[in-house]
């Protein structure tokens, strides 16, 4: 029998705020294609599973200072959002790499509806983003996220409040590290595009009467697609290997 039903509910809701804030913006879970009810019940299920593990940490803080509970709820929600945004920024970096690869390989067709976002996106970028998120789920990245949330109560305790400086540093470090990793992943395509366009420019100088643009587009597009075909496995393998250091190294 529960001795303190009110305190138990308040403690569980405090855990739900951090977990729910993370799932709200987490890649895959935070997509507009996932119904809101699914995200809600996923956050509730994870919160119920983590509450017994965090009982000794959360319940005394909620029970000792109920007057500050609204402040605690706001800070826990912001902490969870920061954790989710760190993972979200890494996937945004994958979209950046896909857009760069699409541009340098001449794959400039009309964009379609994105799989994960509510806006238009290039077909190659859409394929890369969706495959990257799928591979992350296949490697149980969400388990790593929830484990990191559980460990976060040690260095970001529930009674410590939200520290904007720490959150800003974590997000900016994530963006810097993600940009470096995605630039390395897209570097073969960028180098290929630069070399090919330089060669085409030299040909245009030697023979200005040749319609270089219409002749070069099929070749650069075919070369880019072959490069992606043979390098896709290594591309996504390196992305998955880089995800955990990027996430754990900035929180």
Counts of helices then strands in the chain (DSSP H, E): 8, 2
CA–CA distance, 116 with 101 (Å, rounded to integer) = 19
> The domain containing residue 214 runs over which residues?
5-248
Confirm if 126 and 115 have CB atoms less than 8 A apart: yes
Cα separation values, 113 from 33, 106, 110, 124, Å? 12, 20, 10, 12
CA–CA distance, 145 with 168 (Å, rounded to integer) = 19
Neighbours of 30 (CB within 10 A): 19
Predicted confidence at residue 185, as pLDDT, reads: 92
Cα separation values, 64 from 6, 51, 54, 60, 68, Å? 13, 18, 16, 6, 10
What confidence tens digit (pLDDT) does each residue in 208-234 have?
Answer: 777 777 778 888 888 888 999 998 999
Predicted confidence at residue 1, as pLDDT, reads: 38
What confidence tens digit (pLDDT) does each residue in 136-152 have?
Answer: 988 888 888 888 888 88
Query: Comparing C-alpha atoms, which of 90, 177, 174 is closest to residue 133?
Result: 90
CA–CA distance, 70 with 45 (Å, rounded to integer) = 23
Number of domains the chain is built from: 1
Confirm if 173 and 250 have CB atoms less than 8 A apart: yes
Give the chain's residues under pLDDT 50. Answer: 1
Judged by phi (left if over 0) then psi (alpha if -120 to 50, else beta), residue 140 lies in left
């Amino acid at each position: 029998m529960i001795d303190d039903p009110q305190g138990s509910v308040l403690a569980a809701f405090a855990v739900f705020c951090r977990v729910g804030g993370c799932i709200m913006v987490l890649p895959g879970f935070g997509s507009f294609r996932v119904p809101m009810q699914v995200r809600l019940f996923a956050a509730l299920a994870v919160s119920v599973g983590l509450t017994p593990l965090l009982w000794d940490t959360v319940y005394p803080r909620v029970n000792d200072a109920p007057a500050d509970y609204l402040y605690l709820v706001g800070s826990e929600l912001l902490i969870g959002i920061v954790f989710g945004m760190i993972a979200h920024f890494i996937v945004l970096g994958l979209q950046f790499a896909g857009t760069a690869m699409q541009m340098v390989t001449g794959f400039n067709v009309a964009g379609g509806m994105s799989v994960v976002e509510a806006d238009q996106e290039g077909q190659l970028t859409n394929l890369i983003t969706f495959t990257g998120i799928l591979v992350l789920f296949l490697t149980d990245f969400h388990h790593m996220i929830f484990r990191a949330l559980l460990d976060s109560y040690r260095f970001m305790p529930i009674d410590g409040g939200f520290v904007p400086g720490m959150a800003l540093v974590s997000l900016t470090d994530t963006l810097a590290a993600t940009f470096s990793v995605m630039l390395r992943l897209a570097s073969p395509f960028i180098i290929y595009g630069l070399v090919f366009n330089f060669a085409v420019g030299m040909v245009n100088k030697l023979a200005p009467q040749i319609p270089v643009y219409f002749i070069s587009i099929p070749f650069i597009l075919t070369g880019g697609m072959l490069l992606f075909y043979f390098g896709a496995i290594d591309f996504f393998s390196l992305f998955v290997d880089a995800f955990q250091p990027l996430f754990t190294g900035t929180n």
